[in-house]
Amino acid sequence: MTVRDVRIFGDPVLTSRADEVVDFDESLATLVDDMFDTMEDAGGVGLAANQVGVLRRVFVFDCSHVDGGLRGHVVNPVWEPIGEETQTGKEGCLSIPDVSAETTRYETVKLSGRDKDGNPIGLVASGLLSRCIQHETDHLDGVLFLKRLDPAERKAAMGVIRASDWFNK
């Protein structure tokens, strides 16, 4: 297992849609293992494959520290909201260091997909895990959470990014 480099805002892979996974092979299993190592090393609760430069539809998550939450991975994720209730809270991203902003997401979602062996999986999630599912699936669609912000929040976040040392390297 390996800790991979996390791609940072401005890298075109972050705004590219990831491809459906069709081969459930050893390379996919290695990718998932590496993504867990990378997420843990970076201190995140979720990580999408394109954040490590791989355009495959897979993400990992670890919400086990909150309310007996879950840890896992999903290949070819698809989610849909359950109800219209939303949650608004601080959201950040490993690919956009030192930036967090109030972001609105659905409170509860139903997720389906496959595991790394190709077995079907599904779950209903609320709270942090619901937010994580929506955030990581956005990544796989080439959408950063900044696009989910209201204009004033987005402008403020972009100001922080432009002033950051990591952006100005």
Q: Which residue has the tokens 């791989």?
A: 54
Say whether 139 counts as a known binding-site residue: yes
Say whether 135 counts as a known binding-site residue: yes
CA–centroid distance for 77 within its chain = 11
Q: For residue 88, what are the contacts with CB-CB under 8 A and spacing of at least 6? A: 102, 103, 104, 105
Q: For residue 23, what are the contacts with CB-CB under 8 A and spacing of at least 6? A: none
- Does the annotation mark 107 as catalytic? no
Alpha helices in 4-125 (DSSP H): 26-42
Q: What is the largest CA-CA distance in the chain?
A: 45
For residue 75 the two structure tokens come to 């290949």
For residue 155 the two structure tokens come to 């402008």
Q: Which of 40, 102, 107, 136 is catalytic?
A: 136
Say whether 65 counts as a known binding-site residue: no
Kind and range of the H or E run holding 122:
strand 120-126
Residues belonging to the binding site for Fe cation are 93, 135, 139
Catalytically active residues, by annotation: 136
Residues belonging to the binding site are 93, 135, 139
